[in-house]
Chains A and B, each alone.
Chain A
Amino acid sequence: MHKAKDNFCRSIILYFIFIWFSLMIVMPNMLVVLASFLTKDETWYLRLPLNLDNYRALFDTNLWMLIAKSIGLALCTGLACLLIGYPFAYLIAKLPKERHSIFLMLIMIPFWTNSLVRNYALVSVFSDTGLINQWLLNLGLIKTPIHILHTNFAVFFGMTYTLLPFMILPIYAVLEKIDRSLVEAARDLGANSFDVFKKIIIPLSFSGIVAGFIMVFLPALTLFYVSDILGGSKVLVLGSVIRNYFLPDQLGALNANWPVGAAISVSLTLSMLVLLTIYFKSGNTVEEEQQLW
């Protein structure tokens, strides 16, 4: 009896997840794919006939310049997150176990505030009349406000700030699993702290580094609102490009081109998929090893 009931509940849940997944993830993506093969329409945005022309937009050199810029920004963000996040994760993992959750909480709590709100908060820190400039002015270090807002740096800072937890958490997860006795074994065999770090800790946490990097790099390509809020009118991320094809611009002129936006979006999704597949193909073996171990 119980078993039948359990099974019933389970299939309900599974069906629910399945339906949710289909409606919210598969369907929209299929629509985007479909849109990328349709033709632009002034009033309805989309119309037949089907064609491949939209993908021609991909060969635009301006777009490639933008993509390069966006990748550059995403790489810098990833690197900064790694440089800040790794020591952070390492320190937490080294603390006594009871204290881990407190520090993880401190990292997670900002998550509960919408990242949009947090980036707006950064505006009031960076702006010409913002906190930083006021301090510097009050301290007499500068005479006129320095422009931080609407610079590449501001966007880079916002990205790093927003995405840092995605670097810390996966690295912490691997570091935490490293058997302490491996470190002791290395020390026992004559390794100093630096050797231990280089030969044991880094190699054993490499899968976490890669995972963290992917989890920072990919969103950093598309987080257009950070660029919008902190970067002003500059188009710095690929996400903004796509967004601009879908929204009429501020002047009211109908600039939107859904099929081209969809085509770029599909291409981006596909390249991400390829990257992720490569990662999981190589990453899974590492993880399996660790689990078996």
Chain B
Amino acid sequence: METQAHPLLELKSITKFFGSNKVIDDLDLSVYDGEFLTLLGPSGCGKTTLLRLIGGFERPTGGRIYMDGTDITYTAPHRRPVNTVFQQYSLFPHMNVFENVAFGLKMKNLSKDKIEEAVNSSLKKVKMEHFADRMPMELSCGQQQRVSIARAFVNNPKILLLDEPLSALDYKLRCEMQLELKELQRDLGITFVFVTHDQEEALCMSDRVVVLNEGMIEQIGSPIQIYEEPKNLFVANFVGEINVFDGIVASTTEKYFTALVAGMSCKLKKPTTFDVEKGSKIKVLLRPEDMVIEKIKKLDEESSKLQGVISHLVYKGRTIDLWIRMSGGIMVMATQFFNEDDPDIIYSVGDFVDVSWIDDWEVVLPDA
């Protein structure tokens, strides 16, 4: 994506203060035509603020916003080719579904026929064509959400902004809507900028994910990059569960290096992002599902592998989560697929296990 010539939307060193509170800190971001971009971050990190800056509801304290090369930093919301799906739906309570969706088109003074055609076809796209005469209060949350999405995209914006549109829905409906939204985005070909604090949602829907923290971008990348190659501890911890081991580099070769990880000597692949030097401190990160667990009879002081005791386990249907207390005292989480044919899989609290991981699947970061 980043190789594409012209970004559709460009934020350049955007800073936003509320009083003396710095909410967005010198942020640069490009959004490309047709992509599904997700802003992911913990509560209060400035996601909504960023979206409101793009929508025109807030003015940046510093920096510029360009749309197709034109400066729109101070353009009023109703003059931007951008539409928003609000978190609380914000349907007009005194208008029925049809009138709500038609609102933007009426503002553009389109002819009655054109409006009717556009409204009906967009209601169809969100499967609400039979509800055109209903008032918003007569709709369920999910239905209201669909209408508010239709109301936004019927205007054919260059960018659709969505602020946690699914957060008020129950789990099952949310999963359904995630798929539908993704499909809708492909179908419409409109650029989506989607806000969520739910990492799973971000990973399953987006072309690119922007991980935000305290008004700064921690990492931009595809869902796979974000999950498999987190650039720092914040991203690693925020996106999914992860085990973090402390290590000290013992020796290095051309492609590999050995390090003392949790007291064990391990041979690891050299990271590309920074230089490892003998004696430097590192962090070794491992996803629970990359851990390999093997049951053993008893702890072996001489063993060359990491060993521990299962202290806690959670059965999750297809998988089982194990918390293992290592000899050094640290806790490691491991997710194992449940396999009925394999008797080894019957773990119980107090079992002794060897702990290792699939070679080269670790992420090595410098210890800050």
Contact = CB atoms under 8 A, between A and B. Distances in A.
Interface stretch (A104-112, A185-193, A251-259): A185-193
Interface string A145-158: 00000000000000
B137 A292 contact: yes
Contacts of A290: 93
Contact of A195 (B57, B107, B135): B107
Contacts of A184: 57, 77, 84, 86, 90
B90 A182 contact: yes
Contacts of B57: 184, 187-188
Contacts of B135: 289
A185 B107 contact: no
A188 B88 contact: no
A192 B78 contact: yes
Interface residues of B, number: 25
B77 A179 contact: no
A204 interface: yes
Contacts of A182: 90, 92-93
B137 A289 contact: yes
B151 interface: yes
A191 B137 CA distance: 23
A87 interface: no
A168 B77 CA distance: 30
B107 A191 contact: yes
A191 B91 CA distance: 15
B55 interface: yes
B93 A188 contact: no
B361 interface: no
B83 A189 contact: yes
Nearest to B77: A187
Interface residues of A, number: 21
Interface in B165-199: none
Nearest to A286: B94
A253 B78 CA distance: 71
A43 interface: no
A5 B137 CA distance: 42
A200 interface: yes
Contacts of B84: 184-185, 188
A203 interface: yes
Given A190-B107, A195-B107, A185 B90 contact: yes
B137 A186 contact: no
Given A182-B92, A184-B57, A203-B94, A190 B104 contact: yes
A222 B253 CA distance: 100
B155 A190 contact: yes
A250 interface: no
A293 interface: yes
Nearest to A187: B77
A204 B93 CA distance: 8
B86 A189 contact: no
Interface of A: 179, 181-182, 184-192, 195, 199-200, 203-204, 289-290, 292-293
28 contacts: A179-B88, A179-B90, A181-B86, A184-B77, A184-B90, A185-B86, A185-B90, A185-B91, A186-B103, A187-B57, A188-B57, A188-B77, A188-B152, A189-B78, A189-B103, A189-B107, A189-B152, A190-B78, A190-B108, A190-B155, A191-B107, A199-B103, A200-B92, A204-B93, A289-B93, A289-B135, A293-B136, A293-B137
Listed from nearest, the 5 A-B pairs whose CB atoms lie closest are: A189-B104, A190-B107, A185-B90, A181-B90, A187-B77
